[in-house]
Amino acid sequence: MTTHLLGDTAVLTGRSLRHILRSPDTIITTAVTPIALMLMFVYVFGGAIDVGPESYIDYMLPGILLITIASGIAYTAYRLFLDMQGGIFERFQSMPIARSGVLWGHVLTSMVANAVSLVIVVGVALIMGFRTGAGVLEWLAVIGMLLLFTLALTWIAVIAGLSAKTVDGASAFSYPLIFLPFISSAFVPTETMPAPVRWFAENQPVTSIVNSTRALFAGQPVGTDIWVALAWCVGILIVAFVLAMNIYKRKIS
């Protein structure tokens, strides 16, 4: 059965990419919220936030990118949930296809859709004055880390899509994920926070990802942050993947 996994996944990915092309609003909606946040933080709050010599948009773009991903994956859960509600999921399951291909199709589509949203957000940031000294290697490192983060969060979205009882439930899981960057070093330096909040902010995954992305963009040394960030991403990815696969297996047997 695994012999067809690649081919079947490609066909199913083509199918859900076509869904996105037919409703491009999902990509635009994904990009609109982070862009609005970016406008507000840069032009409203930013002036009152002291982040040192760095321009504020350069400071907060990494956090905005993570928010973009967190809101983008909600659509993956939503699309997976709709598939399971309709008869098409049962049709796929009763066909001689690689069964995990159904999930991988959604996962790869999520990667593509989020990449497009991220490009839009970065484009707007450039217009708003975002500048980076990052060279090719730094850019590749940033792209790699954002893709890894997207992949990890997408498998969380798969869990939500598989186990949700209602359409609202399928996307509600993403709210805490969208909120997480606010309690991190994404928008303000953690030094100003009260001790318990600061402890949380400094030890949650977003901060290490934000700090290393920011350092890469600024052309500064990333230190140990990048290893902590990678460990978080890989850890979340493995746990979410194993959980999602277990739920899926229980669902289809």
Partner 1 sequence: MTATQTPAIRVAGLEKSFKDLHVLRGVDFDVARGSIFALLGSNGAGKTTVVRILSTLLKADAGTATVNGADVVGQAAAVRESISLTGQFAAVDEVLTGRENLILIAKLRHMKDPGAIADALLARFSLTDAAGRKTGTYSGGMRRRLDISMSLIGDPPVIFLDEPTTGLDPEARLEVWEAVRELARGGTTVLLTTQYLDEAEQLADRIAILHQGRIIANGTLAQLKKLLPPAKVEYVEKQPTLEEVFLAIIGSDATAPATAPAPTSRERS
The footprint of partner 1 (CB under 8 A) covers 1, 4, 7-8, 11-12, 15, 18-19, 22-23, 86-88, 90-97, 252-253
Q: Which long-range contacts (CB under 8 A, 24 or more apart) does 170-176 make?
A: 170/74, 170/77, 170/78, 170/80, 170/81, 171/74, 171/75, 171/77, 171/78, 173/74, 173/77, 174/70, 174/71, 174/73, 174/74, 174/77
| Distance in Å, CB of 101 to partner 1, minimum | 8
- What DSSP string runs through 54-101? S-HHHHHHHHHHHHHHHHHHHHHHHHHHHHHHSTHHHHHHTSSS-TTH
The DSSP symbol for 44 reads I
| Distance in Å, CB of 252 to partner 1, minimum | 7
| Distance in Å, CB of 244 to partner 1, minimum | 19
Cβ proximity to partner 1, 13 vs 114, nearer residue: 13
Cβ proximity to partner 1, 4 vs 198, nearer residue: 4
| Distance in Å, CB of 16 to partner 1, minimum | 9
Give dist(CA 33, CA 24) in Å, integer. Answer: 15
Give dist(CA 82, CA 195) in Å, integer. Answer: 43
| Distance in Å, CB of 83 to partner 1, minimum | 9
Give dist(CA 65, CA 139) in Å, integer. Answer: 14
| Distance in Å, CB of 94 to partner 1, minimum | 4
Count of beta carbons in the 10 Å neighbourhood of residue 127: 8
Cβ proximity to partner 1, 11 vs 238, nearer residue: 11
Cβ proximity to partner 1, 163 vs 185, nearer residue: 163
Closest CA to 150 of 114, 178, 118, 184: 114
